[in-house]
């Protein structure tokens, strides 16, 4: 079974803090993704990575950065947390394309509250 884990289920941070969200997958997947999920807005892609040290902006990258130093680990960084970044953050991973149809597998999510 594919397993995607996230470092925290719940986090409470203060405005202006630097926040790190960690995601680890154990299936040797090339692709990794960070989404945020908000009521009425659905899942929105923040950043994704298709290889170590590679990253691509998603639909809402402003205020976020990412790091992928190892294949199994993908970190989301909130440089200076703001209250509008209060959300559920979801990490996902999938195998590389090349004729194969990828399925994204999700972690359990991190619910972040910024005060």
Contact 90, 37 (CB under 8 A): yes
Q: Which residues contact residue 43 at a Cβ distance below 8 angstroms, ignoring those fewer than 6 apart?
A: 35, 36, 37, 90
Residues 16-55 touching another protein, rule: CB under 8 A, are 31, 33, 40, 42-43, 45, 48, 50
87 binds another protein (CB under 8 A): no
Closest-CA residue to 112 (of 94, 95, 87, 90): 87
Nearer of residues 80 and 97 to another protein, judged by Cβ: 97
Task: By CB under 8 A, name the binding residues for another protein.
Answer: 4, 31, 33, 40, 42-43, 45, 48, 50, 56, 58, 90, 92, 94, 96-97, 101-109, 111
């Amino acid at each position: 079974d594919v397993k995607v884990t996230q470092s925290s289920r719940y986090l409470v941070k203060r405005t202006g803090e630097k926040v790190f969200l960690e995601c680890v997958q154990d299936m040797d997947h090339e692709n990794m993704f960070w989404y945020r999920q908000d009521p009425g807005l659905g899942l929105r892609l923040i950043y994704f990575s298709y290889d170590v040290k590679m990253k691509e902006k998603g639909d809402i990258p402003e205020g976020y950065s990412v790091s992928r130093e190892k294949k199994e680990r993908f970190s989301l960084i909130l440089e200076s947390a703001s209250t509008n970044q209060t959300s559920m953050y979801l990490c996902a991973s999938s195998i590389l394309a090349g004729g194969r149809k990828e399925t994204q597998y999700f972690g359990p999510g991190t619910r972040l509250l910024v005060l």
